[in-house]
Chains A and B, each alone.
Chain A
Amino acid sequence: MIDFYAVIPLLIVVLAGGAAMLAEAFRQPGERMPIAGLGVIGLVGAAAASCFLWNTDAQSYGAIRADNFALFINLILCGIGILTMIFSNDVVEREGLPAGEYYALTLFAIAGMMMMAAATDLLVIFIALEILSLAVYVLTGLRRSSAAGAEAAFKYFLLGAFSSAFFLYGIAFAFAISGSTRLDVIGTAIASGPGGTLALLAVGLLAIGFAFKVSAVPFHMWTPDAYEGAPTIVTAFMSTAVKAAAFGAFVRVFLSTLEPLQGHWVPVLSVISALTMILGTVVGVLQSNIKRMLAYSSIAHAGYLLLGIVAANASGKAAVLFYLAVYAIANLGALGIVALLGTADHEHDQLRDFAGLWQSRPGLAGLMTIFLLSLGGFPPTAGFIGKWYIFAAAVQEGHYWLAIIGVLSSVVSVFFYLRIVVMMYMTEDAAGPVRPPISATAMAALAVAMIVTFYLGILPTRVIDLALQSIQTIY
């Protein structure tokens, strides 16, 4: 029985997903079911279970390990999931998305993500990756009437399946050198005889697989297309949750199992990190579609997170976890607002659509500003502290050039975040789009996200310490 403790949070989310499916199956035509509430209950349960498991280091058959690192990511994922559910309650019906499928797939994707962050066996990581990916591919193409949606889903699927083949090939080579897919066994095998051809092939192929999932340059091509074509609420979900889960597994595999080969992968990842930061920012400046702009911004943020992995000293590792939480809240808030303003006929995702938001919806414009400033890294928001810790770690480790590129690209990125802000405050609303009303619950959720953004920006020590403690459990 004790072997099952580690999977309890995951099981709760799976149950909630199954319940969402059943609710849809037994729904009378025209009846409106509170499926979002079901999802919130499941996710709160999973978060509570994660809190109970804290410090217990429960393990399930050597394949899933609920150490504090996995639980920290679980909590981030539950937070993302709860916010998504609350926003979806407003959005799903208005956009005409199939409710049962939407909620069930979102919950199953979250279960896959929790599994990915907690897996200590490469094969389980692969299966978790597929569980979350398959759910997210379908979510991307959920608007069946939209040609852009179908195209986005297919491009995402094609490159995702392509990259998972590389990932799997990497697992095969890791299996060849150690005779097992378990991370601890592979780690021992690599530590005893580092540097063989097979080991290097395994590292390279695994890195390609992860780089695709976190959308690092040059494996980022799917990101803008998938994020633009997907329903906005799905973009908000996948740009944050998939990244959190993929970086969780990335950190676990590269910083603990493959650490003996650090001399080989650090140079490669530093180049990838630099390119990712530069391309994400520079191309982001050129965009006039908000979803595409935030897609490039999410590419740039993947670059900052990679920089944290490259500069893997004690504070750098904790900074990755902290930054994941910071980025998730700010990005989910910003894209959530875009989703809440959209309707079935008008997506509200062009820059011009935001003209005069300050006059008609001052509260919403204020919240959007705060989330965008946090993404841009302004003090006293959380984004500033997150970037500060990552760049400080990079400088400590002597990666001066990367830190300089990081600082410069975040300065440039402020330009495109401020473009939206300028549009909201300083442009008149000339015959602007009809903006739908936003429920009090969604506003309350946004307000909570804003409070967390300021809390992490002003009093970050407690969460940073928590991140430091939890990252130590993966060794």
Chain B
Amino acid sequence: MISLNHYLILSGILFAIGTAGVFLRRNVITILLSIEIMLNAVNLTFVAVGRYLNTVDGQIITFFVMTVAAAEAAVGLALVIALFRHRETLSPDAFTALKW
């Protein structure tokens, strides 16, 4: 039997994977994807908890989160394109115009 704890642990692992990706990956697109993994880990928590508490609230919240994530991805990719026009690279190590 899969209990709520299993879901919470899985979502915790996914969230940690996403967080690690943001810090370790050296490509801005992959970093954006890592943030999406973090948001989806949260979605999993919402759905699992909603199911556990026998309400549909968790699933409804997930739709809001998905909408926000889509809007965020749209703005994020637009900013990546704007940045790529100036830098011709996707490596975050190259973005050093602003420091200290």
Take A134-B71, A138-B75, A175-B61 as given contacts and tell me if A152 and B98 are in contact as well, using a CB distance cutoff of 8 Å: yes
0 or 1 for each of A89-131: is its CB under 8 Å from B? (1 = yes): 0000000000000000000000000000000000100110010
A157:B71 contact, CB within 8 angstroms:
no
How near does chain A come to B81, taking the closest CB pair, in angstroms?
9
Closest to B34 in A: A162
B86:A175 contact, CB within 8 angstroms:
no
A134: which B residues are within 8 A, CB to CB?
71-72, 75
By secondary structure, the B interface counts as helix
How near does chain A come to B96, taking the closest CB pair, in angstroms?
8
B46: which A residues are within 8 A, CB to CB?
172, 175
Closest to B61 in A: A123
A229: which B residues are within 8 A, CB to CB?
97-98
0 or 1 for each of B36-66: is its CB under 8 Å from A? (1 = yes): 0011011001100110010101100100110
A168: which B residues are within 8 A, CB to CB?
39, 42, 65
Check: A153 CB closer than 8 A to any chain B CB. yes
A151: which B residues are within 8 A, CB to CB?
83, 86-87, 95, 97-98
Q: How large is the interface on B (under 10, 10 to 19, 20 to 34, 35 or more residues)?
A: 35 or more
Take A127-B68, A130-B68 as given contacts and tell me if A154 and B35 are in contact as well, using a CB distance cutoff of 8 Å: no
How near does chain B come to A405, taking the closest CB pair, in angstroms?
23
B75: which A residues are within 8 A, CB to CB?
134, 137-138, 157
A172:B45 contact, CB within 8 angstroms:
yes
> In chain A between 151 and 172, which residues have their CB closer than 8 angstroms to a CB of chain B?
151-155, 157-158, 161-162, 164-165, 168-169, 171-172
How near does chain A come to B37, taking the closest CB pair, in angstroms?
9
List 11 other contacts, CB 8 Å, given A134-B72, A172-B45, A176-B8.
Answer: A123-B61, A130-B72, A144-B82, A153-B82, A154-B82, A157-B76, A161-B72, A165-B42, A169-B15, A172-B42, A179-B55
0 or 1 for each of B15-44: is its CB under 8 Å from A? (1 = yes): 100100010000010011001001101100
How near does chain B come to A305, taking the closest CB pair, in angstroms?
24
Among B65, B68, B72, B79, the residue within 8 A (CB) of A153 is B79
A130: which B residues are within 8 A, CB to CB?
68, 71-72
How near does chain A come to B72, taking the closest CB pair, in angstroms?
6
A162:B98 contact, CB within 8 angstroms:
no
